[in-house]
């Protein structure tokens, strides 16, 4: 018998018995019928619902009916019955219900019923009824559990009770079995799932633990590395110091010069090769020390370094604008305090850049920007533009002299020789380029205040950009320009570095970038490493007198020459005409970046003649080729200083209006063999970057660390005209380096500190950028006073040099400014010469060291004579004095450059030793014996 059939049989049997029971109950008491009727008439309910209802009923009705509800022999069944019993169902009610059910069952189980009927004719009617009642219950059962409960309601007869129970148990166990199988399998799969999840979690946990261990290890490693780096740095610093001092050994006694304080007397002279080796070692050690310093900065302070600065400064510099003080155009920007994005502030004309032009009028007005540009044709002598090219330069500077010839305004020498400007109108007839820059800065400050709806004077702080290749005097002049108008220049920032900030901030632009910045007056190239918000300048180079103005000048010359050829009229000297030509030339240059050819039309350039020339892009390219190619040499130098190949550059960023010129883009692309990135606005990037740096300083932008460099090597003059380099070029700023020197002669009570910038070993080949004197040194023996000379370059690249007498604590210092800057040609020339003449330089240095050593011996001999000459014969004394005189003459002639003979120096040194050493030793011995008596 199948499981299904058995269940059915059992159900039928249970239902029949229940029917019998109900009939019996109905005969026993009428009371029960009420409840039964009520229950039967209701809609079928869920088990819980039914239970609740029954319980409620029990509360209200059971006390009266208790004991009558069920007559069961089996207390277990009784208790079940009591909960689900139909109660007082009358026979009619049951029959009604049964009749209703019959029709339903017929519909649903017609076929099944027919088979069942044919089996037993006698029982058919009764069984049919019972079966249908059973089925009727089946219809209203809603759950397996209800079905089970209902089945257990039926009262089994005595003889079948056991079987029924066991059948029910079977059903139960079968159904439970099925359910349990189902539940078991569900549970099993849940368990499996949980197990799998658990394993995953365990795995994750193991990984996290392992990572944690790794992190701890990394942390420990970093700590060790940091300590190692610190130790290494110290050791290497020591090595650098030792080697540097060794190199100074031969710098001896002479007034106005200094020498190392080390116990250098008697140490042998270095050969050229030794010198070379030492300088190479120093270079390597310095660069490794530099790397270590950077690593230390990063690992020790990391981004916090800058953040700390920012926080410390946040109160001081609340709102810091960024100003690009350009040769041709200036721009101002600020970082939005909410979005943290930099934005350009528009001027009152609604333009985003302002011409860097200042004009003085007959009526005493001062125009700045667009209004100044509008009147420059009618007022050329008093309209100053491109004056940034003069800032920090001397009048006799070659570059200045070029401008003197070309510019319509007057450039004159100031009392201290600087290049100044003169007007023909107004109260002040002369202005320094710093003052002109001050007018422009003031205008940019006004633009900022208006755009930000601030009152005049409420914007106090600015980051102002300068070309990276500006020297310290030019930087200082820019700062001064700010001070002149009451603007606190919180940072002087290099233009390409600013552009890199604008490019790299908040983007995933990590990598090595080259910023090629060709503006109106200057060219800069910087190689930067951007990594996680750290902008590290690897090297910088450029030309502070190369830009769009030069291109305009070429075109002006082309127009003027053509006009002269065509008409015989020379427009040179006609300032109004030249100004018109200048304007037309720049316009044509800009147009040719977008079209292949254009016209230069200047009607009535003279009373009777006009200009109308066509010019093509190719013609302009040919004219400006030399100028464009001039930018490549600094690019190569910057790459070599950064110790990189062009292939190492991930991205080339073009900055400055001139980089819109297709020929320039092509030249850059050809050189790098890579398309440059033109996504950033070349006119605005610098101001935007300056604003970012301003926000960093005010603390509103975090996680940005700038590591900029000094563009040129700095040092002082030491004995014999040697250049003692303290800070090599491309050293990360800010930085401070100290070195101890001493006096060169007995009783020397002052020393001159001559500060030079350059790449050559002799000061005469470098640029003097400042000098000062440390006086009141107690008159002691040579080499005894300890004079500490310190170079301090701040983040603006401005140098402070100080000298301190360590014994007395007296300090003298200078902030290097007011000296002329070097032109690109001068720098190039210096670097070229330094490479070309290395051999010659080495010979000179080696010779000077021989001379210095001879001088030391001579000095010691003189000292010995003071102490022991009384123990010598007269003949010996005269002989030694004679030798001292000869040697002094040799030294003097060598110093003057009249003598250059190493052999003679060596011979003199040898002879001096032979003639004096024994005599002096004997005298010293006698002196000792005398003392003993």
Ligand X SMILES: Nc1ncnc2c1ncn2[C@@H]1O[C@H](COP(=O)(O)OP(=O)(O)OP(=O)(O)O)[C@@H](O)[C@H]1O
Q: Judged by CB, which is closer to ligand X: 474, or 909?
A: 474
DSSP state of 765: G
Q: What CA–CA distance (Å, rounded) separates 648 from 446?
A: 43
- For position 656 contacting ligand X by CB under 6 A, the verdict is yes
Q: How many CA atoms lie within 13 A of 608 on its CB side?
A: 3
CB of 323 to ligand X, least distance (A): 11
Q: What angle do CA 370, 373, 379 make, to 5 degrees?
A: 140
| Helical packing angle, 31-41 and 47-65, nearest 10° | 160
**Range in contact with ligand X (rule: CB under 6 A) among 321-329, 376-384, 600-608, 614-622:** 321-329
CB of 503 to ligand X, least distance (A): 15
Residues between 511 and 550 with contacts to ligand X, criterion CB under 6 A: 519-522, 547-549
**Where do the H-state alpha helices sit in 818-873?**
824-836, 838-868
Q: What CA–CA distance (Å, rounded) separates 607 from 151?
A: 125
Give 99's contacts (C-beta < 8 A, 6+ positions apart). Answer: none
Q: What angle do CA 925, 926, 932 make, to 5 degrees?
A: 95
Structure tokens at 222: 């970093």
Structure tokens at 154: 């039926």
Q: Judged by CB, which is closer to ligand X: 519, or 758?
A: 519
- Give the DSSP per-residue string, 448-467: HHHHTT--TT---EEEEEE-
CB of 549 to ligand X, least distance (A): 6
Using CA atoms, how far residue 911 sits from 292, 853, 869, in Å, is 49, 14, 19
Q: Judged by CB, which is closer to ligand X: 559, or 851?
A: 559
Binding residue for ligand X, selected from 326, 711, 721, 758, defined by CB under 6 A? 326
Binding residue for ligand X, selected from 306, 329, 748, 909, defined by CB under 6 A? 329
Where do we find the tokens 């005010």?
Answer: 698
CB of 209 to ligand X, least distance (A): 56
Task: Round the CA-based radius of gyration of the chain to a whole number and report it.
Answer: 51
Give 419's contacts (C-beta < 8 A, 6+ positions apart). Answer: 390, 393, 394, 395, 397, 400, 411, 412, 413, 433
Q: Judged by CB, which is closer to ligand X: 383, or 725?
A: 383
Q: Judged by CB, which is closer to ligand X: 355, or 758?
A: 355
SS3 of 326-365: CCCEEEEEEECCCCCCEEECCCCCCCCCEECEEEECCCCC
CB of 585 to ligand X, least distance (A): 9
Q: Which residue minimizes CB distance to ligand X?
A: 548
Catalytic residue positions, numbered: 324, 388, 495, 517
Binding residue for ligand X, selected from 81, 137, 443, 683, defined by CB under 6 A? 683
Q: What CA–CA distance (Å, rounded) separates 390 from 250?
A: 41
Structure tokens at 443: 């205008």
Residues between 756 and 775 with contacts to ligand X, criterion CB under 6 A: none
Q: C-alpha 271: how far from its chain's center?
A: 45
108: enclosing H helix or E strand: helix 91-119
- For position 657 contacting ligand X by CB under 6 A, the verdict is yes
- The residues that bridge with 56 in the sheet, in sequence order, are none
Q: Judged by CB, which is closer to ligand X: 521, or 676?
A: 521
**Range in contact with ligand X (rule: CB under 6 A) among 121-129, 250-258, 320-328, 450-458:** 320-328
Residues between 349 and 408 with contacts to ligand X, criterion CB under 6 A: 356, 388
**Range in contact with ligand X (rule: CB under 6 A) among 223-231, 574-582, 588-596, 784-792:** 588-596
- For position 684 contacting ligand X by CB under 6 A, the verdict is no
CB of 698 to ligand X, least distance (A): 24
The 33-62 site mask, x for binding ligand X (CB under 6 A), equals ------------------------------
Q: How many residues bind ligand X (CB under 6 A)?
A: 26
The 114-153 site mask, x for binding ligand X (CB under 6 A), equals ----------------------------------------
Helix (H, G, I), strand (E, B) or coil at 47: helix
**Range in contact with ligand X (rule: CB under 6 A) among 141-149, 239-247, 327-335, 502-510:** 327-335
Q: C-alpha 812: how far from its chain's center?
A: 37
CB of 754 to ligand X, least distance (A): 31
CB of 739 to ligand X, least distance (A): 36
Binding residue for ligand X, selected from 127, 135, 472, 586, defined by CB under 6 A? 586
Binding-site ranges for ligand X (CB under 6 A)? 324, 326-329, 356, 388, 495, 519-522, 547-549, 586, 589-590, 593, 656-658, 660-661, 682-683
């Amino acid at each position: 018998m199948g499981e299904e059939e058995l269940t059915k049989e059992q159900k039928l049997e249970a239902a029949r018995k229940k029917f019998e029971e109900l009939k019996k109950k109905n005969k026993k008491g009428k009371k029960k019928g009420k409840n039964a009727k009520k229950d039967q008439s209701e809609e079928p309910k869920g088990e819980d619902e039914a239970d609740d209802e029954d319980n409620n009923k029990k509360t209200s009705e059971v006390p009266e009916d208790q004991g009558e509800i069920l007559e069961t022999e089996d207390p277990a069944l009784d208790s079940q019955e009591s909960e689900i019993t139909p109660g007082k169902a009358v026979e009619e009610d049951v029959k009604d219900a049964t009749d209703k059910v019959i029709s339903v069952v017929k519909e649903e189980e017609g076929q099944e019923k027919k088979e069942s009927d044919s089996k037993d004719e006698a029982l058919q009617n009764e069984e049919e009824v019972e079966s249908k009642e059973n089925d009727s219950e089946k219809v209203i059962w809603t759950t397996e559990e209800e079905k089970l409960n209902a089945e257990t309601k039926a009262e089994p007869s005595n003889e079948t009770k056991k079987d029924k129970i066991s059948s029910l148990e079977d059903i139960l166990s079968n159904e439970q079995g099925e359910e349990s199988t189902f539940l078991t399998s569900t549970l099993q799969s849940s368990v499996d799932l949980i197990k799998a999840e658990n394993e995953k979690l365990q795995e994750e946990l193991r990984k996290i633990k392992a990572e944690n261990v790794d992190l701890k290890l990394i942390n420990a490693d970093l700590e060790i590395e940091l300590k190692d780096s610190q130790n290494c740095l110290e050791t290497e610093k020591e090595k650098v110091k030792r080697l540097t001092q060794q190199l100074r050994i031969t710098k001896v006694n002479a007034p106005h010069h200094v020498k190392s304080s080390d116990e250098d007397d008697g140490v042998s002279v270095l050969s050229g090769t030794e010198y070379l080796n030492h300088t190479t070692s120093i270079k390597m050690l310095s660069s490794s020390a530099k790397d270590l310093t950077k690593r230390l900065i990063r690992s020790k302070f990391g981004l916090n370094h800058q953040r700390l600065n920012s926080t410390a400064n946040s109160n001081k510099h609340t709102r810091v604008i960024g100003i690009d003080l350009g040769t041709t155009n200036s721009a101002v920007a600020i970082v939005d305090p909410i979005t943290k994005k930099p934005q350009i502030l528009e001027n009152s004309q609604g333009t985003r850049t302002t011409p860097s032009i200042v004009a003085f009028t007959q009526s005493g007005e001062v125009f700045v920007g667009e209004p100044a540009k509008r009147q420059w044709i009618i007022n050329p002598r008093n309209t100053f533009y491109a004056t940034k090219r003069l800032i920090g330069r001397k009048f006799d500077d070659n570059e200045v002299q070029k401008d003197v010839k070309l510019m319509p305004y007057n450039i004159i020498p100031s009392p201290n020789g600087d290049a100044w400007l003169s007007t023909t109108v107004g109260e002040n007839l002369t202005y320094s380029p710093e003052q002109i820059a001050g007018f422009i800065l003031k205008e940019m400050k006004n633009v900022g205040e208006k755009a930000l709806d601030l009152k005049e004077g409420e914007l106090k702080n600015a980051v102002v950009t300068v070309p990276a290749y500006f020297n310290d005097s030019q930087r200082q002049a820019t700062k001064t320009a700010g001070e002149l108008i009451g603007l606190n220049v919180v940072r002087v920032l290099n233009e390409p570095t600013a552009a890199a900030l604008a490019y790299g901030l908040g983007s995933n632009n990590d990598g090595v970038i080259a910023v090629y910045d060709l503006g109106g007056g200057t060219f800069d190239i910087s190689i930067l490493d951007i990594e996680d918000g750290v902008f590290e300048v690897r090297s910088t180079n450029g030309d502070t007198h190369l830009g769009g103005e030069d291109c305009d000048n070429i075109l002006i010359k082309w127009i003027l020459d053509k006009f002269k050829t065509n008409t015989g009229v020379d427009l040179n000297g006609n300032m109004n005409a030249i100004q018109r030509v200048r304007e037309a030339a720049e316009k044509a240059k800009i147009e040719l970046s977008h079209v292949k050819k254009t016209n230069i039309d200047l009607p009535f350039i003279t009373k009777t003649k006009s200009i109308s020339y066509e010019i093509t892009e190719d013609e302009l390219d040919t004219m400006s080729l030399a100028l464009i190619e001039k930018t490549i040499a600094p690019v190569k130098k910057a790459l070599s200083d950064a110790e990189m190949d062009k292939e190492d550059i991930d991205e080339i960023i073009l900055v400055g209006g001139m980089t819109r010129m297709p020929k320039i883009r092509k030249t850059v692309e050809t050189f790098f063999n890579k398309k440059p990135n033109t996504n950033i606005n070349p006119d605005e990037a610098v101001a935007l970057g300056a604003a970012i740096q301003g926000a960093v300083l005010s603390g509103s932008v975090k996680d940005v660390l700038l590591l900029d460099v000094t563009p040129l090597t700095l040092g002082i003059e030491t004995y014999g005209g040697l250049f003692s380099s303290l800070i090599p070029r491309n050293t990360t700023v800010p930085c401070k380096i100290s070195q101890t020197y001493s006096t060169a002669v007995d009783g020397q009570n002052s020393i001159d500190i001559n500060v030079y910038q350059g790449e050559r070993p002799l000061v005469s080949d470098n640029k003097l950028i400042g000098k000062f004197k440390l006086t009141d040194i107690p008159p002691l023996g040579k080499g005894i006073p300890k004079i500490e000379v310190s170079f301090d370059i701040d983040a603006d690249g401005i140098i402070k040099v100080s000298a301190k007498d360590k014994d007395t604590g007296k300090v003298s210092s200078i902030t290097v400014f007011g000296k002329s800057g070097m032109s690109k040609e001068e720098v190039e020339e210096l670097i070229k010469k330094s490479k070309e003449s290395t051999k010659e330089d080495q010979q000179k240095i080696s010779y000077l060291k021989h001379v210095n050593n001879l001088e030391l011996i001579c000095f010691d001999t003189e000292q010995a004579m003071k102490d022991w000459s009384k123990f010598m014969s007269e003949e010996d004394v005269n002989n030694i004095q004679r030798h001292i005189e000869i040697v002094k003459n040799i030294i003097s002639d060598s110093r003057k450059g009249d003598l250059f003979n190493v052999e003679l120096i060596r011979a003199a040194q040898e002879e001096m030793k032979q003639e004096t050493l024994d005599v002096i030793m004997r005298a010293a011995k006698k002196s000792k014996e005398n003392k003993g008596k």
